[in-house]
Amino acid sequence: MMHVDYLIVGDGYAGVFFAHQLIKNKKSFRLFSAGKRAASHISAGACNPVILSRFNKIWKHQELMNYLPIAFSEVSEYLGKNYLLDQPVVRVFHDEAERNTWLEKAHSDKLSHEISDKVLELHHVNNPYGGGKVIQSSRVDVLGFFKAFHQYLEEQGVMIKESFNYQLLDAQQKTYGEISFDKIVFAEGVKVKDNPYFGTAPVVPNKGHRLSISIDEILDPYIISKKHFLVKMSEEDVYYGGTNDKLGDGTEQVEQKSVDDLVGNLEDLYPHHYRVNQVLVAQRATVPDRRPIIGRHNSLHDFYIFNGLGARGALNGSFFSKMLYDFIENNGMIFPEADVQRFYLSNKML
């Protein structure tokens, strides 16, 4: 029987960033990947400390933004490239009132470090009221990052390319088939509902559609944000999305009303010719109280959950992977607001 320090279930932002903590700390592990295209893999990769619908900072924004470049720089040591790009979010103002609110906030103590007070004029999209830059924001090269990370795990022989079968897990012996392990971290996104140990965690699927389009014009070099994000991901893939289909049909099928919504909003923003090559759909793992869910199982001491990253997989995934690792290995603390214990204590998870 082979022995490892950790098993990880899941290959999205949560799974790979936790794998990063293990690589950095020279722990042995195996990571299970079902090989499906999930929310992480179709995301825009925007790392944005500001909630653009309300012009507020996200929870723990400074801690998250401080750690983000550190995590990507550490990862670059073994992937050979830094996949965090200096590509900020620019908000295209809907009207004069929104622009005025932005400028007020940019001059107030609350957001003066996060958003710029200069009104930009974009050249390739409709922006009669101009746009404002989110100073600290950036973007992950999503396609490159996951391709390189997964390939690295495969080359190291630590990725198991199969769906983790909960029937094969012996929770008392801490074995999975022919592998024995010390600890297991479940990072399955919305598929956590199939997990016999954490399936009652209040993870709510939020379906998101995004278009993959081709354009002939050049695009302003930002994550252009109006109703949705418009951003060039690669020569072949310009991203437009993603929808927040809270009342989606619960499947991973494309829904025409979401596509119509995207196309309508894209045409309002982008006045040039484009071709839709593909519509991609996935489910974000959100939590009603908008905080991640990390921490230890109530009765199984070596079983952990890493989930609920919401709409901010890159920022939450990088930061909370370290918090979870330090909690497990170094007696660190977990923010009570993000600790799975909050649901055990309120009897919301039985």
Ligand X SMILES: Cc1cc2nc3c(=O)[nH]c(=O)nc-3n(C[C@H](O)[C@H](O)[C@H](O)COP(=O)(O)OP(=O)(O)OC[C@H]3O[C@@H](n4cnc5c(N)ncnc54)[C@H](O)[C@@H]3O)c2cc1C
Between 14 and 213, name the residue whose CB sits nearer to ligand X: 14
- Token readout for 343 is 């649901």
User: What is the secondary structure of 126-170 as a DSSP string?
Assistant: --TT-EEEBTT-EEE-HHHHHHHHHHHHHHTT-EE-S---GGGEE
User: What is the secondary structure of 245-284 as a DSSP string?
Assistant: BTT--SSSS--HHHHHHHHHHHHHH--S-EEEEEEEEEEE
Q: With binding defined as CB under 6 A, does residue 161 bind ligand X?
A: no
Q: Which of the stretches 121-129, 245-253, 279-287, 330-338 binds ligand X when contact is defined by CB under 6 A?
A: 279-287
Which helix (H) or strand (E) segment is 183 a member of?
A: strand 179-186
Q: With binding defined as CB under 6 A, does residue 38 bind ligand X?
A: yes
Q: Which of the stretches 90-98, 149-157, 245-253, 304-312 binds ligand X when contact is defined by CB under 6 A?
A: 304-312
Q: Which of 105, 133, 210, 297 binds ligand X (CB under 6 A)?
A: 210
Q: With binding defined as CB under 6 A, does residue 58 bind ligand X?
A: no
Could you say which residues in the range 227-246 bind ligand X, by CB under 6 A?
241-242
**Bridge partners (DSSP) listed for residue 285:** 205
Tell me which amino acid residue 221 is. Answer: P
Q: With binding defined as CB under 6 A, does residue 89 bind ligand X?
A: no
Dihedrals phi, psi of 118, to nearest 5 degrees:
-95, 130
Which helix (H) or strand (E) segment is 319 a member of?
A: helix 313-330
Q: Which of the stretches 34-42, 89-97, 116-124, 246-254 binds ligand X when contact is defined by CB under 6 A?
A: 34-42
Dihedrals phi, psi of 220, to nearest 5 degrees:
-55, 140
Closest separation between CB of residue 38 and ligand X, Å?
A: 3
Could you say which residues in the range 7-26 bind ligand X, by CB under 6 A?
9-15
Closest separation between CB of residue 15 and ligand X, Å?
A: 6
Q: With binding defined as CB under 6 A, does residue 106 bind ligand X?
A: no
Q: With binding defined as CB under 6 A, does residue 187 bind ligand X?
A: yes
CB atoms within 10 A of CB 44: 24
What residues line the site for ligand X (CB under 6 A)?
9-15, 32-34, 36, 38-40, 42-46, 163-164, 187-191, 208, 210, 241-242, 282, 284-285, 307, 309-315
